[in-house]
Structure 1
């Protein structure tokens, strides 16, 4: 069994999210209590062709361990070759295979969740990756409940992946056709966890310690994965652990502390140079900034300003003006909605 599941541990994963869970955000979430990290997915073809941009997505720090690099593709041999290159370069704690991405540009290349409707190809991909690197590092997989509501086959897929040598499976409780709409089906996730001997990690609609406790008590999952909730509230990991340990909901993080983290995230993003110069970095951060500020008093005009920022100095000015207005009681109580 993977070390982070041993001794009745119940790990909190940060879900891999394209354009979100870069090395900077993973650093922040690790500091705030996330136990296991997974990189943004990378194309096996980009890895094999030694594309510098693709390789950049595989970066992580030792402080983030245990961390896995997630790959996608639809050719077993090529996937195995890519996994071997990543292990040789980076030596992550595990390789994760993306069988769940619903995005058209991935599905259109027979990657991600498209493999859920082609189990022979899914088997080939899983087997070849395990064959290539399974003797060096563990291989895990991430799936959805199925292609659509008429084709729910997650338990079947879990059996296949277990037989192929996967050492853990993450199950997002939505179908490909749902994308991120509707509610996650935790009944299916629970069935998956009960049907295989390897750990199953549940993913979908986890946004609080109460959610974590409910799924731990009501299903057989060995851990949970938190995705979109962490975009707005990376403190969710710390808050969940506090709730599990004490049964008490911690006090909300003060808005001043939230702004401190926002500013730090921007500064770290510029240092990383991933997105280019300062202007390019701040433009890339706009969606992240608006997610952080969702639910703030006076959020609507605030987010209007954030979607036009081009420099770090602008963020500092916006933060200072906002906190001054907040201290002066300048926001009506009803303005907290977005």
Structure 2
């Protein structure tokens, strides 16, 4: 599927499906291992964990692990954040000289203080001329090599809802696709996503708009498809707990009903597989460091899982694969 758009320099041929389902970029979550799992379970398009443009320029070898992509994950974009258009463009060129992503995505939406404090992510929603300058700098640097996309929020706070203005500036800067998270920066991840604003922007733009926020079920994605003008949805936190949401959503969109319920064993098997993949990859170091990283992932997987509540205090301290196997063996199969 391609998206027509007179102001878009690229028709985005990497989007192959009707109403694509995106895996959202999430720091510490969407590493190559989790991307592999989500791709197998039906994610259509992926974006890497974000990486700092300044980090790329100052310490490429240390930061390039965030830009590593696998052929099986395509189509996939690499996400950059920063507040200097020239530096962002230079970082994008370095990435393209070493990796072959399907697109570069600019992070104008991250709400976390360590990113906002560096004038990155959603902080640029307070300075739309700077946001436009950063976008234009990356588009110019990349040229005709690859599409450039961007992700924003609907505004900094409820007194500064600027999504429409931001979208128009991004479109004028040559951005090929815009993802909108339907919350303000001040909301972080609380409250409800505002899909009315997302829809208004999608109807006004010539480039495709992808909607993000509160897509926790297949039914929610179907509702958005039928009732808004977005070209696809991006799923984040719901996938952390239930990566099957991609397969369930595609099935629901095709058949109008959910697939048969999965057995608890499928989830415990996935937890163990994910952990073994993390250990085998060496991505997070030795077994102890890897298990420490996996604790939050395991807790997300087991949220609401029958029998898991009683053992959560043990799961947050799990330090070996063998210990995890023993704990999971006590859950319903």
What residue ranges of structure 2 are gaps of 5+ in the alignment? 1-10
What CA deviation, in whole Å up to 9, does each residue of 1:24-55 have, x standing for no partner?
00000000000000000000011112343321
Q: 2:147 aligns with which of 128, 138, 156?
A: 138
Q: 1:2 aligns with which of 12, 36, 48?
A: 12
Report the alpha carbon displacement of residue 273 of structure 1 after superposing the two structures with TM: 1.2
Partner of 2:175: 166
Partner of 1:231: 240
Partner of 1:258: 267
Q: Secondary structure at the match of 1:57?
A: helix
Partner of 2:52: 43
Instruction: Indicate if the aligned counterparts of 1:4 and 1:11 stay in contact, CA closer than 8 A.
Output: no
Measured in 2, the distance between the counterparts of 1:300 and 1:240 equals: 27
Partner of 2:4: none
Q: Does 1:192 align with 2:201?
A: yes
Give runs of aligned pairs for residues 10-89 of structure 1, distance below 5 A: 10-89=19-98
Report the alpha carbon displacement of residue 173 of structure 1 after superposing the two structures with TM: 0.2
Report the alpha carbon displacement of residue 132 of structure 1 after superposing the two structures with TM: 0.6
Q: Secondary structure at the match of 2:54?
A: helix
Measured in 2, the distance between the counterparts of 1:78 and 1:58 equals: 17
Report the alpha carbon displacement of residue 134 of structure 1 after superposing the two structures with TM: 3.4
CA RMSD, Structure 1 to Structure 2 (Å): 1.1
Measured in 2, the distance between the counterparts of 1:320 and 1:298 equals: 11
Instruction: Indicate if the aligned counterparts of 2:14 and 2:102 stay in contact, CA closer than 8 A.
Output: no
Measured in 2, the distance between the counterparts of 1:59 and 1:312 equals: 26
Q: 2:106 aligns with which of 86, 94, 97?
A: 97
Q: Secondary structure at the match of 2:155?
A: coil
Report the alpha carbon displacement of residue 252 of structure 1 after superposing the two structures with TM: 2.4
Report the alpha carbon displacement of residue 5 of structure 1 after superposing the two structures with TM: 4.4
TM-score, normalisation: structure 2: 0.95
Measured in 1, the distance between the counterparts of 2:145 and 2:190 equals: 38
Instruction: Indicate if the aligned counterparts of 2:15 and 2:75 stay in contact, CA closer than 8 A.
Output: no
Measured in 1, the distance between the counterparts of 2:158 and 2:192 equals: 13
Measured in 2, the distance between the counterparts of 1:49 and 1:9 equals: 40
Measured in 2, the distance between the counterparts of 1:261 and 1:307 equals: 18
Report the alpha carbon displacement of residue 196 of structure 1 after superposing the two structures with TM: 0.7
Partner of 2:250: 241
TM-score, normalisation: structure 1: 0.93
Q: Does 1:214 align with 2:223?
A: yes
Measured in 1, the distance between the counterparts of 2:110 and 2:300 equals: 21
